[in-house]
Structure 1
Amino acid sequence: MDTIGFHYVVEAAGCDAEILGDAGKIREIFLKAAEVSNMEVKSSYFFKFSPTGVSGVVIVAESHISVHTWPEKGYAALDVYTCGEKANPEKAVDYILEQFRAKYAHVSEIKRGIAEEDEGTFTHMILTWEEAMNRKNED
């Protein structure tokens, strides 16, 4: 199997606090994100902190989708990592940001597992961008 993988590290801001505080809703969003991005779900676990915040992960055959949230700040730290060519991790990121109703995202795409031919070592390459989502979080 090829070692190349794509890891999206996302700072999502201006998110819906109610969603970020609901472990069940986040699980639902992540499972659908895996489906729309052609990932095979193997397991999931989500934990709600007291008084606020959620950490969770969906393990997929291609790797994982994970999050930690701060509802009181409207902020979510999101990771989507996949290896192989079957999955489309960018679709998962887009779907999650839409469902979190994020107003802003800072995204880093890390191409991982790049083999150095002569020495048997691996490296990575990073591309970063910012997006204003132009959406309102209205009830």
Structure 2
Amino acid sequence: MKIHTAEFVTSVGFQGRLPVSHLPQVVLVGRSNVGKSTLINALARRKIARAGGAPGTTRLLNVYRLALARGSELLLMDLPGYGYARGGASTSGFDRLTERYFRPDPEDTPDRPGRVGPSGAILLVDGRHPGLTNDRKALDWLRELELPV
């Protein structure tokens, strides 16, 4: 997959409105500090995602638009990582934001089509720690959603 351009589109918190787009969406899922933002920067060949050395840097759903070969485009959705709560807070923020992203918007109706959900997911795991319970649960959950992983 050749990426011609990559750009940051928006960040969405739990209360924010998820973007409405006809473009296919690929969602990045993984533990905190596994390298999701670093992967985005590598794909873009420049720093467009904030990547930190400490876990919990990404707390919002960050949206990036990738322009691919032959004029096609997709949205790359960078979810906050799971398994770490910065400052002692619970991970419920991750859970609520993630649940909201994957469930349809109740305001969407047949006459007012809403956002397109994910077309697929990339589950990033740390090769130094294979088989972690949280990673297995994430994979099972993505399979339950019937997403290509």
Sort the TM-score into its range (normalised by shorter chain).
0.3 to 0.5
TM-score (norm 1): 0.33
TM-score (structure 2 length as normaliser): 0.32
Would you tell me which structure has more strand in proportion to its own residues? 1
